[in-house]
């Protein structure tokens, strides 16, 4: 628009236009240049922010890809251990003589679910889930959820060669 206003102004000056007309078109020319400058600055700022966001997105995508690869590698490495741990947990549940429902509740509690979440997963009342959890603790000789988790996790968190079996007998 500023370019067209400048062309019109030059044409008008050559044709002998009035001073008021030339000043009005000169004002339009200045406003056009000013508007173009403001828009150009905003566009450059937006472009810089977009480039920065694109670099950050690329960096995050790379980090996410690396994290996903690390997680997949860990899952593959841990798969045999997890299967063995699941079998050992199930065997302990058998030694405690847990019912199938109590086994399911115990596993959900070990995964960190609340009583309400256990009830929702199992489609039972929260009171039922709490009662089954108490039955698990009683049959296992444990005082609660933290003791249940500690029973299975204690040896996993010790340095190699230093197990709780060296210190105490497990509960049957």
Would you say 141 and 150 are in contact if contact means Cβ atoms under 8 Å apart?
no
Rounded to an integer, what distance in angstroms lies between the CA atom of residue 164 and that of residue 40? 70
pLDDT band at 53 (very low <50, low <70, confident <90, very high): very high
pTM above 0.75, yes or no: no
Q: Which residue has the higher pLDDT, 60 or 153?
A: 60
Closest CA to 121 of 107, 131, 142: 107
CATH code: domain 96-172 is: 1.10.10.10
Domains of the chain: which residue ranges? 1-78, 96-172
pLDDT at 162: 58
Q: Give me the phi and psi of 170, to 5 degrees please.
A: -70, 160
**CB hemisphere CA count around 50 (13 angstroms):** 6
User: What is the rounded average pLDDT of the residues 57-63?
Assistant: 96
């Amino acid at each position: 628009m500023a370019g067209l206003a400048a062309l019109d102004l030059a044409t008008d000056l050559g044709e002998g236009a009035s001073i008021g007309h030339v000043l009005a078109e000169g004002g339009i020319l200045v406003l056009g240049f000013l508007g173009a400058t403001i828009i150009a600055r905003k566009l450059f700022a937006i472009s810089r922010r977009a480039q920065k966001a694109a670099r950050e997105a690329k960096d995050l995508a790379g980090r996410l890809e690396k994290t996903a690869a690390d997680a997949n590698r860990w899952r593959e490495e841990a798969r045999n251990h997890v299967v063995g741990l699941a079998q050992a947990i199930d065997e302990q549940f058998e030694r405690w003589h847990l019912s199938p429902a109590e086994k399911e509740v115990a596993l959900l509690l070990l995964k960190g679910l609340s009583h309400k979440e256990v009830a929702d997963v199992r489609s039972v009342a929260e009171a039922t889930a709490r009662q089954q959890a108490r039955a698990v603790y009683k049959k296992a000789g444990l005082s609660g959820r933290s003791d249940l988790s500690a029973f299975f996790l204690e040896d996993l968190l010790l340095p190699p060669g230093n197990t709780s079996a060296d210190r105490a007998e497990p509960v049957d």
